[in-house]
A = this chain, B = another copy of it.
């Protein structure tokens, strides 16, 4: 073998930095010159940079002078201009007065500046998974630094998430439930007053109007934030929520649904069809949005809308369009159900501990059961199979209810998890009408009571959080992640591992003799193969 050109050694500095030295041997001289200052491949560990980053964030915000500017990158107007300004400012901020003295810090600041222009594009799905944790991917990992300041309260609109529509779903499903209890023969003995449905419906409608108005403002003023919510792997499912809530409102309307104009239904189903095409297409065409990666119980929201629409359509006499949505819902539900039950190792966001999220498992078969009963005209074998599946899943969750509220933080998303309970109660009432017996009627009443109590409890918690503790809308950090990770250490390591040829990409230059450590610069510049990064890039 020929004279080695490089040799590598690893050392760990007291500042917790691992240093990989690449000793260069001159091919002409023939003798390894290890005493010369070597090109170094330095990899940093995380803690010290963490502090530095925070300082950097503060420093940057201080240098900006005005506070509000920092949120401008999420604003619909002005964001782009601001971005250009900041990139100019970012360039002049680091004037490199003494490169030799600056050393590592300088270079790290450079790379920080480099990764900071991430407001232009939406983070990738992988980034969301890498940067966030928790069942709803709603908490920032310890190693991450958000693009917005964590230590102060953001503008209200930025903190108002799409999952707020869950409230509308929860309340309007109650309106539906009481209409069902009032009209179904099996629960007629309860003599539920039509007034309950009336009141709940108007409350729901008012809430829907309010939430829609606020979110509309967010769309207008902070479109970037909405866009980031739409690309959030969990949050995107909640974009079905407004339309499902509307369907609930239509279904729960005190008047009989047969009196509606068919156009109402088509108008409500159009956005659901659009989202179906968008989302299922993303699953199928793969890439980082493939189902085996993004599937979580919340994904049920992306499927249940089809069944709710089918149910309403069948009641309105639109049997064929209803069947269309039922068919679309069914195949994708099967795919989703199998995927969730398998618990693929690639399904990152599923938490080990149980969580209200899991109640969404009950929603789809409950609604599908009633929808199929309405489409086929009777609560036949198919509808009953779906109903019994819902019942079993319900029992399965109740059986482990003790695990539920262990360390689970309340959030607005809980509202979406209350409507399954209501759906199950409604399906039971319809089922009890078909299979009337004391047992089924008792079950219908019991589940309805559970549903009402659950919704009341969540409502009380929400009000308490909103008006007493005033923390109902915390900073929505999940939309404020950086587009690119700060650290590249994992990737570098991966590169080193894959093949020695790739080393060449990192260690591109031959050090030309009597250089000094001050000649080091960023990766992209060939003369010095010095790479900076922080650990824990890849989860």
The residues of A with any CB-CB pair to B shorter than 8 Å are 1-19, 22-23, 25, 27, 40, 42-43, 45-47, 103-104, 276-277, 280-281, 283-287, 290-293, 295, 320, 323-324, 326-328, 330-332, 334-335, 337-346, 350, 352, 354, 358, 361, 375-376, 381, 384-389, 391-392, 395-396, 399-400, 403, 435, 489, 493, 497-501, 503-504, 507, 517, 535-536
B291 near A342: Cβ-Cβ < 8 Å? yes
Q: Which residues of B contact A15 (CB under 8 A)?
A: 2
Q: A501, B45: Cβ atoms under 8 Å?
A: yes
Beyond A16-B504, A499-B536, 17 extra complex contacts between A and B, CB < 8 Å: A2-B15, A7-B9, A8-B9, A11-B23, A12-B500, A12-B503, A276-B392, A277-B395, A277-B396, A280-B396, A284-B343, A320-B384, A320-B435, A327-B385, A328-B392, A331-B337, A342-B344
| B277 lies within 8 A of A535 (CB) | no
Give the CA-CA distance A80 to B172 in the complex, in Å. 56
List residues of chain B with CB within 8 A of the CB of A22.
12
> What is the bound-complex CA distance between A345 and B307, given in angstroms?
30
Q: A339 contacts which chain B residues (CB < 8 A)?
A: 338, 342
* Between-chain CB contacts (< 8 Å), 12 pairs: A1-B19, A1-B42, A8-B9, A12-B500, A285-B354, A293-B343, A323-B384, A324-B392, A328-B392, A334-B337, A342-B344, A344-B344
In whole Å, how far is A526's beta carbon from the nearest beta carbon of chain B?
16
Interface residue from B47, B103, B276 paired with A501 (Cβ < 8 Å): B47
Cβ of A457 to closest chain B Cβ, rounded Å: 23
Known: A11-B7, A46-B501, A292-B344. A358 touches B323 (CB 8 A): no
Say whether A391 contacts B324, CB under 8 Å: yes
Residue of B nearest to A20 (CB): B500
Known contacts: A1-B19, A277-B399, A388-B324. The answer to whether A535 contacts B500 by CB under 8 A is yes
Which B residues touch A17, using CB under 8 A? 1-2, 500
A343 near B500 (CB under 8 angstroms)? Answer: no
B contact residues around A342 at 8 Å (CB): 290-292, 295, 335, 338-339, 344
- Pick from B25, B338, B396, B400: contact of A335, CB below 8 A: B338
| Chain B contacts for A276, CB-based, 8 A | 392
Q: What is the CA–CA distance of A335 and B354 in the complex, to the nearest angstrom?
A: 20
CB distance B396 to A284 under 8 Å?
A: yes
> Inside 8 A of A3's CB, which chain B residues have their CB?
13-14
Residues on B with C-beta less than 8 A from A343 are: 283-284, 286, 290-293
Chain B residue nearest in CB terms to A295: B342
A168 to chain B, nearest CB (A): 27
| B335→A535 contact, CB < 8 A | no
The 8 closest A-B pairs by CB, nearest first: A18-B500, A45-B501, A4-B11, A290-B343, A499-B535, A7-B11, A327-B388, A5-B14
A511 to chain B, nearest CB (A): 13
A503, B292: Cβ atoms closer than 8 Å: no
Chain B residues lying within 8 Å of A399, measured Cβ to Cβ, are 277, 281
Compute how far the CA of A334 lies from the CA of B337 in the bound complex, rounded to whole angstroms.
10
Residues of B within 8 A of A403 (CB): 285
Give A537's nearest chain B residue, CB to CB: B499
State A384–B354 Cα separation when bound (angstroms). Answer: 38
For A293, the chain B residues whose CB sits under 8 A away are 343, 345
Write out the residue numbers on chain B whose beta carbons fall within 8 Å of the beta carbon of A103: 1
Q: Is the CB of B19 within 8 A of A11?
A: no
Chain B, residue nearest A324 (CB) = B388
A361 touches B284 (CB 8 A): yes
Kindly report which residue of chain B lies nearest to residue A18, judged by CB atoms.
B500
A190 shortest CB reach to chain B, Å: 23
Q: Which residues of B contact A46 (CB under 8 A)?
A: 499, 501
Taken together as a complex, chains A and B put the C-alpha atoms of A2 and B16 apart, in Å, by 10
Chain B residues whose CB sits within 8 angstroms of the CB of A338 once the complex forms:
334-335, 338-339, 342
